[in-house]
Amino acid sequence: MKLRVEVVAVDSLMVRLFDVIDEANMPWMLAARQRLQAAFGGRLVDLVPSYTTLMVQFDLLQMSPTEARSCIEQALADVQPDNGGAGRRHEIPVWYDPSVGPELALLAQRSGKSLAEVIRLHSEREYQVFALGFAPGFAFMGLVDECLAAPRLATPRKRVAAGSVGIAERQTAAYPAVSPGGWNLIGRTPSALFDRDRDGYSLLQPGDRVRFVPVDHGTFMRLGGDDTPLEAQV
């Protein structure tokens, strides 16, 4: 870990701990987040973790940028990784099917695998939630098997169905709501990933672990899934 503090705005500082995305970063990120929350207390406006950074927004009425920088440096001076498994573990059901995952066959072709092998490779791994972003409840997770890695679509779709599960490079994610998007779609989940009535709103939080569980069409529908083919949704 190499601590650097960078100015983002008059009331915000970026704490950079690493330069490369790695699952091994997360215990350090979780520990740093806990230290900063405790150090800033009521002076903290927002704390946004990402793959290698934490953005700290503080209350200018309670502390100056110089004081905020000093607070960060003192809080993280002797930080150690949090290996206590602070995050939650989730099992998210997914119906893997070309009608709702139009890139499923493409990924199979690119990797030289069968559809069943692609599904197995995606669902057998437990993924780390690195960060939330793009849309409320959208969790960036990784890392997928290297043979499944695929670049984002050259032309993003104008409309991606809620629950769509996709891959971009070595990351995977599920769309919490209808939105534009350019990820390679391989299936759909019936799980509610974002709920305004839920504490914290998002089902997934940085530090959580996720396992995608293949389900058949009948189970998907019983769980409240929408099987409308992607191309039929307007």
Q: Is the pLDDT of residue 213 over 70?
A: yes
Q: Is residue 82 part of a domain?
A: no
The answer on 165 and 222 residing in a single domain is: yes
- Supply the pLDDT for residue 97: 97
Question: Based on the structure, what is the number of domains in the chain?
Answer: 2
Residue 83 counted as domain residue: no
User: Could you read off the pLDDT of 110-152 as tens digits, one per residue?
Assistant: 999 999 999 999 999 999 999 888 888 899 998 999 999 999 9
CA atoms in the 13 A half-sphere facing the CB of 104: 24
When pLDDT is cut at 50, 70 and 90, the band that residue 232 belongs to is low
CATH number for the domain spanning 47: value is 3.30.1360.40
Write the burial class of residue 15 (CB in 10 Å: 0-12 exposed, 13-18 middle, 19+ buried).
buried
Which range of residues forms the domain containing residue 51?
4-75
Are 110 and 177 within one domain? yes
pLDDT tens digit sequence for 161-203: 999 999 999 999 999 999 999 999 999 999 999 988 777 789 9
pLDDT tens track for 21-56: 888 888 898 899 989 999 999 999 999 888 899 999
Q: Do 36 and 113 belong together in one domain? A: no
Residues 63 and 144 in one domain: no
* 109 plus 212 within the same structural domain: yes
Q: Examine residue 80 and state whether it is found in any structural domain, yes or no.
A: no
3-state secondary structure of 73: helix
How distant is the alpha carbon of residue 76 from its chain centre? 24
What local confidence, expressed as pLDDT, does residue 22 receive?
83
Query: Are residue 105 and residue 182 in the same domain, yes or no?
Result: yes
- Specify the DSSP element, H or E, that contains 212: strand 209-214
Domain boundary among 75, 100, 130: 75
Q: Are 182 and 153 in contact (CB under 8 A)?
A: yes
Question: Is position 99 within any domain?
Answer: yes
Residue type, 139: A
* C-alpha to C-alpha distance for 44 and 190, rounded to whole angstroms: 35
Distance CA 13, CA 37 (A): 14
Q: What is the CATH number of the domain that holds 208?
A: 2.40.100.10
Share of the chain above pLDDT 70, in %: 97
What pLDDT sits at residue 207?
86
